[in-house]
Amino acid sequence: MRLGVNIDHVATLREARKTTEPDPVTAAMLAEMGGADQVTFHLREDRRHIQNRDARLICEMAQTKVNLEMAATLEMQEIALAMRPDSVTLVPEKREEVTTEGGLNLLREGEKYAATVKALKDGGIRTAAFIGPDQAQVKEAAKLGFDAIEIHTGEYANAARRGPGDTLRAVQDAATAGRRYRLRVHAGHGLTYHNVHPVVQIPEIEELNIGHSIISRAVFVGMEQAVAEMVSLMIR
């Protein structure tokens, strides 16, 4: 199983003071040294954390894979085609949200994403859809030509403390559907050192993208160790 480390919150800390530190590019390099298989970041339309310069430097300097999260806009499409990350994960955006709150609604807005998916794939960039654990959405992702899905694990993460109940089963079922439709299956959102193990045990999931928990741990033990500790929890 691969680990993508989301470095957005390093940039969030920097932007809190509008200064130059901490540097998310340095964080990306340290994450790789800690064992990350991929660096993930979200270049938002409002540029609230990651900036264009960060994105460009990470794409140029990363020794592992780079995964760009972005909205399906023409501006972002052009940036992605210029920077050439290994993969793009399309996500919904709302300016008032603190973090990405839900998945794409491909059933309602599929036409909106189809052109972006085609343009990125024509440019040699793999595409993933960030969706809730809904089998109908998984099927639609396959119809629209996505290479992968990333299952939103937020409901599972919120429920995990009191017992995941049906939320883990929903993630499992969506992952199974993804494999059935020949999609690569990723997962992320709200995963921590304490709740990641059950998700790791879902065999169809190939990749986890985790940010806040790792960056929070890194404040106390350093980026390399924080990443290495998460990597150790993802061994099947």
Please write the tens of the pLDDT for every residue from 106-162: 999 998 999 999 999 999 999 999 999 999 999 999 999 999 999 999 999 999 777
Note the pLDDT tens digit of each residue in 12-34.
999 999 999 999 999 999 999 99
pTM: 0.95
Task: Specify binding-site residues for 1-deoxy-D-xylulose 5-phosphate.
Answer: 8-9, 44, 49, 99
Catalytic sites, residue numbers:
42, 69, 189
State pLDDT tens for residues 157-208: 999 777 778 999 999 999 999 999 999 999 999 999 999 999 999 999 999 9
CATH 3.20.20.70 fits 2-233, yes or no: yes
Domain ranges across the chain: 2-233
Angle between helices 24-33 and 212-221 (to 10 degrees): 80
